[in-house]
Every structure is written in C-alpha cells, then in structure tokens.
Structure 1
C-alpha cells in the first residue's frame, strides 16, 4: 500500500482487534453491558485526555466506547487512525492488542509498521530492513536514547511533522556517535571513530554536511525565525529516516 493511505479492510481489521479484546475481557469478568476493568480505565483516560471530556460524563458501557472509537477507524483520516492505533498500543495494558495491530498491518501490507509502540512509515522493503536493523543494533546498553530518537522520527513522519522527524533522525545518529566515543559533538565523534576504523573522508564529510543542513534549515534544529517555514517535506523526512537508520547501523557495526 502507498503512504498516506489505509484500505477499508485494514480499517475493519484494526477495529476488529480492538472490539475482540473488549469482548474477551467482558466475558472473563461476566459483563454483559459494562466494560471490563482494563478497558473501562483505558476508555476513561482516552475520553479525558484525547477527547477533552469531563470524567463524570464518561460512560462505562461497551456502546460508549464503540460510539467514541469506531468512527475514527471507519471514517478518520489515515493519520487519525494510525494515531489512535499508536495511542492504544502504548496505553493499553492488554499486550495482545499491540501484537494484533502489528500482525494485521504487516499482513495487509500497510506502508506503516507498529514498532515498539511507534507507527513508523516503511514505503519499501529496503527502508524497512534499514530501520529494523538499526533498532536491533541499538539494543546494546547505552544506546536506548538513540532508539527513542529513531522511533520518534518515524512517529513524527507518520503524523506529518516532517521537521520534527528530520530532527529526531539526526539526533539518533548524534546520540549513537557520542555514546560510542564520549565526544561532545558529531564531528568529533566521527573523527574519533575513523581513527580506529578507517572511514572514507567523503563519507564522513557527507554526513557532516547533512548534519549541517539540519542545523541551518529554519525550524529543524533551531527555532523558526520570522515567517519562513522549515524547508523540509515528506520526501526529505523519509530520506533522512532511512539514511540515518542505515548510518546508525554502520557506526555500531564498525565499533562493535
């Protein structure tokens, strides 16, 4: 499937995953109308924090949840549907739900994947392999911050926040390089890494130039000045996500 699109079947299957888990808990707790404990608490948080409802007006019944969530899955824009999927995966204590979301998105060949609670765009197999490899490599101790940056980059890209995505992508590279060397800047870190693991000057210079681009572009790594918006779009954000993921893996491998 293409980016910025989700099929009717995918919408239906994602909602089915939610509705099924709600029904399973209701049966376990012998509820016929009211939600079970987990989903009652979750629905209250959802209603207050995402819908802005007052707590005393939040219902406890299954139909209340259906009325609030089903329209998002059925009629919402792609970013609204995926945003709710991401929120549920992060906040629902029923871990089976997140696994179901991830499996369904993969089976329906969605251009997005659920990775550790973040919905990340994967528009090609090559980009997918680069991102998966980077996340796997960053399981090493001391690289948890870099993993968070890369996941945030994917989540921001899905939400259409392109400048934020580019910033998080380059932060992932900077975090890994500095963690591996203890240096205070990306330039010094790459120089230090190249001492023990020869790196072609053009490669080091190229990534320093990309880092410079994120520093100079209005509104990426610095505040926006005046009325000018950040000069970054979806294409740049996708490129930065996959490129930074690949470079992170490279840095970890050459220093491992």
Structure 2
C-alpha cells in the first residue's frame, strides 16, 4: 500500500510490487468443501485476464456499468478489481435492465437476461470449472473465455479516481472513495498492517461485506479468508480454521 494509491487497482499494483507471493484471498465454500488460496500474483493474473476480457472482448469503456449478480466469492473479487482496472462501474446486485453488461452466478441467470448487452455466466464450481455441457442460454462461459486473454493489462485511458467505480446497496462510490474508506476502516476491522488476516463470512451485498471481504485487506497490506456458507461450519470447525489459517480478526 502506498499513500499515492487512488483506486483499488492502484492498491493491487502496490501489493504486487511489495510481495507477489504472499496470500491475498483464501476462499472457502462450506457447502462444497472447496478451499482456494490465491497469492497476490495469482489474483493479479486473474484480474489482468478479466480486465482484458472487459476492454477487448466486450469493448467496455470507462463509465459503462456491469451488474455483478454474484455472491461473496473469489471470482467476484476478481471482477471487482477488473472493473476498477478498466474504469467500468461495478454494480453489485444491480438491475440488469439498466446495465451495459451482466455477470451472473447460479440462481441469477434468469434475472440477468434483462440485460440487453453481453452476459457472462460463472459456474462458481470448485476450481472455477466451466459449465458442462454448456452455459445457460443467453450467456458466454467466463471459464472458457477468460483463459484466452493476456496476462498483462494496460487500460487504453487512465482510470479517473474521481469517477464512479462501485455501486452497492444503493450507494455509489468513486475509486478514491473506496480506497479512502477502506483505509479508514481497516484498523477497526483488526487489520493493522502486513500479516493481518481477516476471516469474513459477510456477504458482498453491502459496503461492510466488501470492506471486510476485499477492500480492507487490500488497503492495509493484509489478507482475507473469505468464507461462503459459513453457517454450515460448526463452532469447533470455525475455531480450527481460525487457528490453521492464522486468522488475526473476524467479521461475521
């Protein structure tokens, strides 16, 4: 994290320069038993590929709106940072009919068809697997398309930190506001700097969930253990996870 970082994409670049090998997002789905750990470098690679998909595959431009109909998940975090990298507005749980593009997961495919632009479907299956035999009608399969895009990303135009970047629970934030608010709230979440490790079971449909589950750890130089379906884990299992993952704070 650098004092000059003004957008979430800036925070990711600084994290990559500082320590690319350290864990950034460790994801659990307690309904499936899935565990995925992404280092800063691996996460940044996914973000670069997804940013190239947005910019070149969809011809998305700064100010365009992507409705993210997705739960708290590591791939949702990737999309949030890809939007920040391209200047596209990430509208979490937004109205597909008002969006330029839609990215949807299971349970949201019918709703997403209201978007007249391109639509991408995520299976959210372990290891980011593709749909078998094919994605839902009206959608392209993200898992099939994203590997074809490059590992390096450069926006065609600089991203304006003061432009709208995120909409969640009816509130709109610029990129600079996301960074400033995440920094201001990090200590209150128990994120005190490098080595801090926050376990979050909060959904991504509120600012609080996004702050704990992505932006706060990124802004503080920490990391997140992002848990989906945490209510299916016993208290004993949770205590074991906190110990094994070296968790220093929790939000749930």
Q: Where on the TM-score scale, by shorter chain, does this alignment land: which range?
A: under 0.3
Bigger radius of gyration, 1 or 2? 1
Report the structure, 1 or 2, having the larger helix content.
Answer: 1
TM-score (norm 1): 0.22
The structure, 1 or 2, with the larger RCO (C-alpha pairs under 8 Å, 6+ apart) is 2
Report the structure, 1 or 2, having the larger strand content.
Answer: 2
